[in-house]
Amino acid sequence: MLWQICFILLIIYYCVLRWKNRDIIKLSKQLPFTNEYRCLPFIGHAWLFIRRGKDPMDTFKLLADVAQKRNGITSFWFGNNLYTILTDPFAAEKVLKTSLEKHELMQLARPLIGNGSIFAPVFIWRPRRKVLAPTFGQKTLNNFVTVFYKQSVILVNKLQSMAEKDKFSVFNYISTYSMDSICETTMGVNINAQSNTNHPVLKAFNGFCQIYAARSVRPWLHSTAVYRWMPNYSTYLGHSQLLNNFVDKIVKTKSQEIKNGGNNNIQTGDDKKTRTFLELLIESSRDNGYTDVELREETLVMVLAGTDTSAVGASFVLLLLARYPDIQDKVLQEIEQVCGHSDNPIRAEHLPSLKYFDAVIKETLRLYPPVPIIVRKMETPTVLPSGLTLVPGIGVVINIWGMHRNPAIWGPDADEFRPERFIEDTLKHPAAYMPFSYGPRNCLGYQYAMMSMKTVLASVVRNFRILPAEDWELNSCKNKANLEVKFEVMMKHADNFQIRLKKRTNEST
Ligand code: HEM
Ligand SMILES: *[C@@H]1O[C@H](CO)[C@@H](O)[C@H](O)[C@H]1NC(C)=O
Ligand SMILES: *[C@@H]1O[C@H](CO)[C@@H](O)[C@H](O)[C@H]1NC(C)=O
């Protein structure tokens, strides 16, 4: 008897749900996923993400392949939620210009950055973006190059001890460089993460990112009601607390200094007064007056958005330079021509002249976008250029990986590493290339990131010859740009960015 009642209730529940979701179900029938992978009752295609031995990145690639074969759009069910997948720039442009609300999936960082602009709801994000955007002016960024170069010299010194040795993972070296540069340009503090790899801030930041990564790929842990019972939860909060306290202190000191009109600039060596992001924020928010909490949140947004992204990007460039010695030689030649002898400091004026290098970095971010997918929430019906209407209540996954490798956009050699394509060709569509996202909510730090990566990579390349971890990688005639990747909030190299280095001093180049 009880069983029967339960069964009937379940059927009713199911019918109500289907009635409520009828528009979404209709859309899903217009956008079928491939029959090869079944849509199971209740969980839908969610099982694709828990296949044994498969990384989430394998599933994102699969979704990209299916979308590419279906004119750049498909959809899949994750439990009761429908997600459309886009690899078509025309559709993506429309979505990224009209749907600015981030999907709940991206809000797991709340304990750390609270209402910080990057994942905040639109009504909080909009005024904050207006305050944040002007702090990324060209003059400010040019002044930051002094910091990038100073930190690059420290990196090169650290790397000296790894040269002429066996393979090693370069990622921690680059990410501590990134951390030091971001902390100095954002807050004006030098935490020396490169020299002090035990620094509590560095440990808390890395710890937070690890737990965040583990949680993000376990959908059943997304609800805080569930997650708070997990052993990792208190560690998660502990790391957030430490970082919050650290930044709080700096915010208090800087606010006070500015009120007192004191000297609060980063020491750039020469007499130029370089103001940090935090100082610019305090000044530019004077009218609406940011509270210390808001200042802390926005400061942490910079650290969170700017550290690992640039480190991953720069590390992928090193992997590819190692596998393409001809391209590495061309890059070195250009650096020598523009920046002179390897003892000459790299300056802001040099960076725009590194045109080929620019193309190499862009082509790397095309094949290996550190942020391979972004997810937006549909809130109003949206008509795509194809005439199809996306309905409220669905999630939209912009599959940047799939868009960047879409042969319909990039041609039959879409999977090949060919920097020249950024010199010869014009883009088929401005949204065809979007490692930094697109539209009103795109990355504010894209120029900062390009300048920081160029400075640090140029410093490494002029001092070391970069070799792949294994010799066979150089000679295998198959596509050398097919690196194994994994998903950990960002897309990373599955083998942890291993390379070998040789000092250039003894070379005749
Ligand atoms: C290679 C390096 C970088 C990549 C690939 C990258 C990529 C991205 C992407 C894809 C988004 C949009 C995310 C979404 O729509 O869900 C974003 C947002 C953002 N990024 Fe970056 N980023 C990089 C470096 C940086 C740096 C160095 C900074 C700061 C110094 C920065 C600051 C921001 C901010 C503030 C946002 C939020 C913008 C908003 O919501 O209005 N990023 N980034
Ligand atoms: C974010 O902002 C909302 C609305 O202003 C507020 O109610 C909420 O407490 C804030 N959340 C955090 C974590 O600060
Ligand atoms: C807890 O965090 C660690 C990383 O610090 C991760 O390896 C582990 O998988 C996490 N456990 C759970 C259940 O999320």
- 57/489 Cα distance (integer angstroms): 10
> Which residues' Cβ are closer than 6 Å to ligand 2?
114-115, 124
- 172/197 Cα distance (integer angstroms): 9
- Residue 313 near ligand 1, beta carbon < 6 Å: yes
Higher pLDDT, 288 or 207: 207
Please report which confidence band the pLDDT of residue 105 belongs to, taking 50, 70 and 90 as the band edges. confident
Q: Whose CA is nearest to atom 2 of ligand 3?
A: 211
pTM of the prediction? 0.93
Measured in Å, residue 100 CA sits from the centre of ligand 2 at 18
Establish how many alpha carbons lie within 13 A of residue 293's alpha carbon, considering only the half-sphere containing its beta carbon. Answer: 3
- Residue 215 near ligand 3, beta carbon < 6 Å: yes
Please report which confidence band the pLDDT of residue 288 belongs to, taking 50, 70 and 90 as the band edges. low
Confidence (pLDDT) at 370:
97
* Cβ partners under 8 Å of residue 26, min gap 6: none
Please provide the DSSP assignment of 306-362 as one string.
Answer: HHHHHHHHHHHHHHHHHH-HHHHHHHHHHHHHHH-STTSPP-GGGGGG-HHHHHHHH
Q: Could you tell me the maximum CA-CA distance found in the chain, to the nearest angstrom?
A: 88
Strand partners, 499: 168, 468
Measured in Å, residue 230 CA sits from the centre of ligand 3 at 10
- Residue 214 near ligand 3, beta carbon < 6 Å: yes
Task: Centre a 10 Å sphere on the Cβ of residue 192 and count the other Cβ atoms it contains.
Answer: 17
Please report which confidence band the pLDDT of residue 479 belongs to, taking 50, 70 and 90 as the band edges. low
- The preferred substitution site among 93, 98, 131, 309 for testing ligand 1, maximizing ligand atoms within 8 Å of CB, is 309
- Residue 317 near ligand 1, beta carbon < 6 Å: no
Structure tokens belonging to residue 454: 């160029």
Summarize pLDDT for 243-273 with one digit per residue, the tens.
999 999 988 888 887 777 655 555 544 445 6
Summarize pLDDT for 126-182 with one digit per residue, the tens.
999 998 998 999 999 999 999 999 999 999 999 999 999 999 999 999 999 999 999
All structural domains of the chain: 24-506 (1.10.630.10)
Atom of ligand 1 nearest to the CA of 448: 27
**Pairing relationship of beta strands 168-169 and 81-86 according to DSSP bridges:** unpaired
- Residue 374 near ligand 1, beta carbon < 6 Å: yes
**Range of lowest pLDDT (266-270, 393-397, 413-417):** 266-270
- Report yes or no: 502 and 163 within 8 Å, Cβ to Cβ: yes
CA distances 230 to 210, 216, 220, 221, Å, are 15, 14, 12, 9
Confidence (pLDDT) at 507:
54
- 476/488 Cα distance (integer angstroms): 28
- Residue 117 near ligand 1, beta carbon < 6 Å: yes
Higher pLDDT, 424 or 369: 369
Strand partners, 485: 493
**Range of lowest pLDDT (153-157, 172-176, 404-408, 487-491):** 487-491
- Dihedrals φ, ψ of 379, to 5°? -115, -25
Average pLDDT value for the chain: 89
- The preferred substitution site among 102, 110, 115 for testing ligand 2, maximizing ligand atoms within 8 Å of CB, is 115
- Report yes or no: 122 and 400 within 8 Å, Cβ to Cβ: no
Atom of ligand 3 nearest to the CA of 221: 14
Over residues 198-225, mean pLDDT: 86
Please report which confidence band the pLDDT of residue 73 belongs to, taking 50, 70 and 90 as the band edges. very high
Establish how many alpha carbons lie within 13 A of residue 12's alpha carbon, considering only the half-sphere containing its beta carbon. Answer: 6
Q: Whose CA is nearest to atom 7 of ligand 1?
A: 436
- Residue 96 near ligand 1, beta carbon < 6 Å: no
Confidence (pLDDT) at 184:
94
Please report which confidence band the pLDDT of residue 508 belongs to, taking 50, 70 and 90 as the band edges. very low
Confidence (pLDDT) at 2:
81
- Residue 314 near ligand 3, beta carbon < 6 Å: no
- Report yes or no: 39 and 25 within 8 Å, Cβ to Cβ: no
3-state secondary structure of 85: strand
- The preferred substitution site among 50, 108, 210 for testing ligand 3, maximizing ligand atoms within 8 Å of CB, is 210
Sign of CA dihedral 119, 123, 127, 129: positive
Confidence (pLDDT) at 263:
54
- Report yes or no: 327 and 419 within 8 Å, Cβ to Cβ: yes
- Report yes or no: 272 and 227 within 8 Å, Cβ to Cβ: no
CA distances 470 to 62, 128, 164, 324, 416, Å, are 29, 47, 14, 13, 20
Structure tokens belonging to residue 272: 């130029």
Q: Is 35 exposed, middle or buried (0-12, 13-18, 19+ CB in 10 A)?
A: exposed
Measured in Å, residue 135 CA sits from the centre of ligand 1 at 14
Summarize pLDDT for 336-364 with one digit per residue, the tens.
999 998 889 999 999 999 999 999 999 99
Atom of ligand 3 nearest to the CA of 232: 1
Over residues 379-399, mean pLDDT: 94
